[in-house]
Structure 1
Amino acid sequence: MADYDFSRLLLQMQSFRASDEAREQFVSELLAKYQNLAEEHANLKNDYLSERDIRRNYQRTVDEKQSVVGDYERQLESSSFVLALIDGDGAIFQDALLQAAAGDGGSEAASRLYHAIRDHVASQYNKSGNWPVMVQIYLSLDKLAVKLATVGLLRSPQELRAFAQRFSVNQPLFSIIDVGQGKERADHKIKEMLRTFSDNPTCRHIIFGGCHDAGYLLNLEHFKHNMLKASRITLLETTPAYRGFTDLANFKRARFDDVFRSEPLPEHISPPSNGFGYMSVQSPAQSSPQPLVRTITNNTSTSPTMTPRTSVASPSPSATPVSAATTTGSNGDSSWATVGKTGAPANGSISIAPTTATTKKNSKKKYAYYNKAEQRLDEPLPSKDPAAAASLEARMKKVGKKMCNHWHLGGYCENGNFCGFQHEPKLTPAERNALRYKTRSLACKNRYCENIDCYLGHQCALERDQGYCPYPENCHLRSTHGMDRVKYVRYDKDGNADYAP
């Protein structure tokens, strides 16, 4: 019996030993798997941090390139102009203008032509209000002067030179260019100018006044199938156009009947009407008719329409732009966040940390929101009180100093009594909210800002709330236009993250 019990105990001990070995093996496997997972996690974390840095660098590069492209676009817009190339041997000014050549006929002709071109270009483009107009009229001055005097439109050939001088003086970019005697000298100049400026991106539109001469058809022929280039050229018809020009598709067409004759010059002198050997002259200044621009569509079945000249002005927004609002009542500083020089004594620092009661009252937890690209997003501010905003502006205007953003919005100013901005008296909650609107209109330099209390702007509020910004060129936050506005993650002050579902 005792031997039997010993054997049973021995078997149990072996069983226990096997169980211990299995448990030890299991624990060893768990530890090995944990070690592998920890190493894999560390590698993935390093890869994620590396990818994040690469993405941020890439985004930063994209932002820089977009800024450069924006600068180029603004430079292109600022240097853009409209060019009119006119063959003056065939495009003849109105009789009344030429008959007043000794007076203000040339000046009146330039003024009429300027407004006619501006009105025509304004009807084709939305942003033509600021484009300068350059006019180059090429002609054989002496030859044309003799012809005009012969048919009675000038008292003497010398008057055409006075006409040309006053024409050029009226507008700084207007010129009547004498090509001298010789066949097709004006044609050669105009063809070369057309070739040069048709590929110039700063030349936004060309008015071509040579439809009376079939010699220009070959130069326009290679444009007719290029819709982009053809749409940037207007064929100006004065006297009846040569038949080949009516077959050119995709070109704009116009007539400036208040500036140029619609019929060729007569072959012989007209009979005098005042008994002194030349036609009666009416001063253009007395009549001062409004220029008429007749825009001709490519549909030959419809008659041209006459459009009275209206003033062309660059559009101005009905509301003050965001960028302009930041400077109202200021002393010219570029930033509301600018404070006085640093380095104030430690005893000059002042704190207005909230009291315990205030802390309990404002115990709502703060978060910083980000999109998937980890770009900072801004929460909408409470509605602005117009009276409080007006009070804030009046106070700054009266004192001649801006508000200290660090003091009124952050609760602390390291410059203390040496700060060059206003600290006292304290702002009301409504005035403080109005100040937040001002600071939000200024862009934070860090698109990935992690300062949860940052009061600068990280995205355009107009684009966020309205879907678009009406001031794309002047907005201080234009670099954020088009950014992803969807909240993806938020962080509290302790760095805890909550991800959007």
Structure 2
Amino acid sequence: MNGQFSLLGRERSPPQQQQPDQFIMGIGGNTVGGSSAGSNLVSGNIMGFIHRFQALQIARDSSDTLIKDLLVYAKEAEDKLRTENNRLQNELDEAKLDLTDARAAQRDLQIQLQDAEGRAAYYSQGADLYRKQNQYVVALIDGEGLVFKPEFLRQGIEGGRRAATTFRMLILEQCGDHANEIQVMVKIVANLATLAKALKADGSIQNESDLRDFFVGFSQCLSSFDFVDIGTGASNLSSKIKESANWHMGNLNCRHVLLGVSHDPSYAQFLDDVLDDNTKDLVTVLEGVPMARELSKTMVNKINYTNTLFRSDRVGKVAASGPPSGLVTVGSTENVPAAISYAGVTSAPAVSPPPTLKLPLAPRQTNVPKTAKQPPWNPGARGLDSPLKVNQSVLDNIKKRTGSSKLCNNHYLRGPCAKKDTCGFEHNYKPNAEEKVAISFLARLNPCTNGQECDIADCIYGHHCPSTVNGQCTHPYCKFRPDEHPAGTKYKSTYRNGEAYN
């Protein structure tokens, strides 16, 4: 029927197969009763979801790429860190080895430093000790210019003995408290023949042999007194005195040099050469004849014995005089011959001993009877260290430890060692009471650097030698100085006066 609408009469065509995208795009497009506007709205919403899905898909792909990149980066970083860790571990191991070597080297250097300091102290102490031993004063005399008084010369041998004894007394008077420690040496240099003729000519002696006999007695009286007959030649005489003076001034044992040259201005240049701030107090000129002006200009010290021993004028200008004032007279001279020949000295009976003079010296100590009670020794301000009762077997065992197994004195006697791991000695051992006493004794074998001035109540080191028993230092390598032992202590042959032994 034309123009008529009939549902029943409408022929239905078979449904068409749609693709998924077409289905999505066409949803609502042909719905029954749908409109064009509704179709557009649905289509717009679908496109939004599609775009969102596509964006999500892109984000997922980017996330996967990121995760892959992160995994690759982490793997590379892990490999680098593992390599760096291995390198650092190797460096740490090497550093530990270096530290061990450094500690060992430090210990060796500390030992070497202690040895060097000990050796330096030994040499310093040894020099002082060497100088204190065998100290002497020497008088070098030009016998042609500084001449003994005629009263001595005329008595020949006996006069020489008296002159020697008096000369020694006068020199020791200048030594004060050190007089009993000083040896006096005298060397007189002269041309014996020329001097004897001059003395006979001016009446000082009756025979030329008197002078020879005088010098025989002078030399025989004391082993350190000598006369040298120089023969002819004034230059030989002065050069001998100058050379001897130089030698003695360079000797540590020489405490003073006396020069009997006041009459000779030629010594002025020599004195200018040898005198300085260190030696100006070492040299004194013995004045007989008034000192030459050139010598006075050198500002050298001088001393005068013309009242008792030497004549004050030159040979040939003095007449015989009486006995000098202040001299001790040796018996009567009435029976003494006017001259004693040199040849008859050996066959003549022995002369009387030299006079006993009251010397200004401290009396020598005599042997004290063994029954006499000796006063206790006081080493100084701090006094004696408290005694220790040591078990010898325990001490021997402690001594057997060597190297790093030695027990640390500071650790066991004072409380934890401040050096800790850098200390080269044992800290982990647990000593008993007897062993601690032995450790304390061994510590005291090392001198405290402050000695008797130490004010540390619990100082572990020694303040005097702990090894001295009955006047004998029993330690073969004692580190204490002689003044840290009781007076008169006897030492082992290996003792080195406080040296740090190798």
TM class by smaller structure = 0.5 to 0.7
Aligned to 2:282: 232
Question: 2:454 aligned with 1:367, yes or no?
Answer: no
* Cα distance, 1:173 vs structure 2: 1.6
Distance 1:271 1:12, change over 3 A: closer
* Cα distance, 1:242 vs structure 2: 1.0
Aligned to 1:410: 435
Aligned to 1:176: 227
Distance 1:280 1:41, change over 3 A: closer
Q: Give the match's secondary structure for 2:278.
A: helix
Q: 1-side partners of 2:266 and 2:115: how far apart?
A: 51
Q: 1-side partners of 2:190 and 2:392: how far apart?
A: 60
1:88 aligned residue (124, 138, 143): 143
* Cα distance, 1:137 vs structure 2: 0.9
Question: 2:113 aligned with 1:59, yes or no?
Answer: yes
Aligned to 1:73: 127
Q: 2-side partners of 1:258 and 1:232: how far apart?
A: 24
| Pairs within 5 Å for 1:210-249 | 210-224=261-275, 226-249=276-299
Between 240-249 and 188-197, report the one with greater CA deviation.
188-197
1:109 aligned residue (163, 167, 187): 163
* Aligned-residue identity in percent: 17
Aligned to 2:470: none
Q: Give the match's secondary structure for 2:188.
A: strand
Which residue type is aligned with residue 260 of structure 1?
L
Distance 1:82 1:364, change over 3 A: closer
Q: 2-side partners of 1:216 and 1:373: how far apart?
A: 64
Aligned to 1:442: 445
- Cα deviation code 1:252-309 (max 9, x no counterpart): 3333456532521574674787xxxx99997446898878xxxxxxxxxxxxxxxxx5
* Cα distance, 1:240 vs structure 2: 0.6
Q: Give the match's secondary structure for 1:114.
A: helix
Q: 1-side partners of 2:266 and 2:414: how far apart?
A: 79
Q: Is the 8 A contact 1:109 1:259 kept in 2?
A: no
Q: Is the 8 A contact 2:161 2:217 kept in 1?
A: yes
Q: Is the 8 A contact 1:238 1:256 kept in 2?
A: yes
Distance 1:67 1:253, change over 3 A: same
Distance 1:410 1:13, change over 3 A: farther
- Cα deviation code 1:388-447 (max 9, x no counterpart): xxxxxxxxxxxxxxxxxx997417xxxxxxxxxxxxxxxxxxxx6xx887644413xxxx
Distance 1:41 1:119, change over 3 A: farther
Instruction: Tell me which structure has the larger Cα radius of gyration.
Output: 2
Distance 1:254 1:268, change over 3 A: closer
* Cα distance, 1:213 vs structure 2: 1.6
Q: Is the 8 A contact 1:100 1:283 kept in 2?
A: no
Q: 2-side partners of 1:253 and 1:374: how far apart?
A: 61
Q: 2-side partners of 1:175 and 1:206: how far apart?
A: 15
* Cα distance, 1:59 vs structure 2: 2.3
Q: Which has the higher contact order (CA 8 A, sep 6+)?
A: 2
Q: 1-side partners of 2:251 and 2:325: how far apart?
A: 45
* Cα distance, 1:79 vs structure 2: 6.4
Between 226-235 and 169-178, report the one with greater CA deviation.
226-235
Q: Is the 8 A contact 2:379 2:484 kept in 1?
A: no
Q: Is the 8 A contact 1:96 1:281 kept in 2?
A: no
Q: Is the 8 A contact 1:135 1:173 kept in 2?
A: yes
* Cα distance, 1:52 vs structure 2: 2.3
Q: Is the 8 A contact 1:146 1:157 kept in 2?
A: yes
Q: Give the match's secondary structure for 2:223.
A: coil
Q: 2-side partners of 1:148 and 1:76: how far apart?
A: 43
Aligned to 1:260: 309
**Count of aligned pairs between the two proteins:** 361
Distance 1:329 1:182, change over 3 A: farther
Which residue type is aligned with residue 91 of structure 1?
L
Q: CA RMSD in A?
A: 5.6
Q: 2-side partners of 1:284 and 1:45: how far apart?
A: 88
Distance 1:147 1:87, change over 3 A: same
Q: Give the match's secondary structure for 1:368.
A: coil
Question: 2:257 aligned with 1:206, yes or no?
Answer: yes
**TM-score, normalisation: structure 1:** 0.53
Q: 2-side partners of 1:9 and 1:169: how far apart?
A: 128
Q: 2-side partners of 1:165 and 1:96: how far apart?
A: 16
* Cα distance, 1:211 vs structure 2: 1.4
Which residue type is aligned with residue 285 of structure 2?
L
Q: 1-side partners of 2:310 and 2:250: how far apart?
A: 31
Q: Give the match's secondary structure for 1:253.
A: strand
Distance 1:92 1:475, change over 3 A: same
Distance 1:108 1:188, change over 3 A: same
Distance 1:28 1:440, change over 3 A: same
Q: Is the 8 A contact 2:141 2:259 kept in 1?
A: yes
* Cα distance, 1:244 vs structure 2: 0.6
Q: Give the match's secondary structure for 1:110.
A: helix
Q: Give the match's secondary structure for 2:298.
A: coil
* Cα distance, 1:108 vs structure 2: 3.7
Distance 1:372 1:254, change over 3 A: farther
Question: 2:189 aligned with 1:189, yes or no?
Answer: no
Q: Give the match's secondary structure for 1:176.
A: strand
Q: 2-side partners of 1:229 and 1:184: how far apart?
A: 25
Aligned to 1:167: 218
Distance 1:195 1:283, change over 3 A: closer
- Cα deviation code 1:328-353 (max 9, x no counterpart): 999xxxxx89769989xxxxxxxxxx
Aligned to 1:320: 379
- Cα deviation code 1:134-173 (max 9, x no counterpart): 2211123344445555656556544444432333233322
Q: 2-side partners of 1:257 and 1:174: how far apart?
A: 20
Q: Give the match's secondary structure for 2:189.
A: strand
> Gapped runs of 5+ residues in structure 1?
292-308, 331-335, 344-362, 377-405, 412-431, 444-456, 481-501
| Pairs within 5 Å for 1:21-36 | 28=79, 30-36=81-87
Q: Is the 8 A contact 2:394 2:435 kept in 1?
A: no
Q: 2-side partners of 1:131 and 1:271: how far apart?
A: 35
* Cα distance, 1:190 vs structure 2: 1.8
Q: 2-side partners of 1:228 and 1:364: how far apart?
A: 47
Q: Give the match's secondary structure for 2:313.
A: coil
Q: Is the 8 A contact 1:167 1:175 kept in 2?
A: yes
Q: 1-side partners of 2:67 and 2:167: how far apart?
A: 110
Distance 1:213 1:165, change over 3 A: same
Q: Is the 8 A contact 2:137 2:184 kept in 1?
A: yes
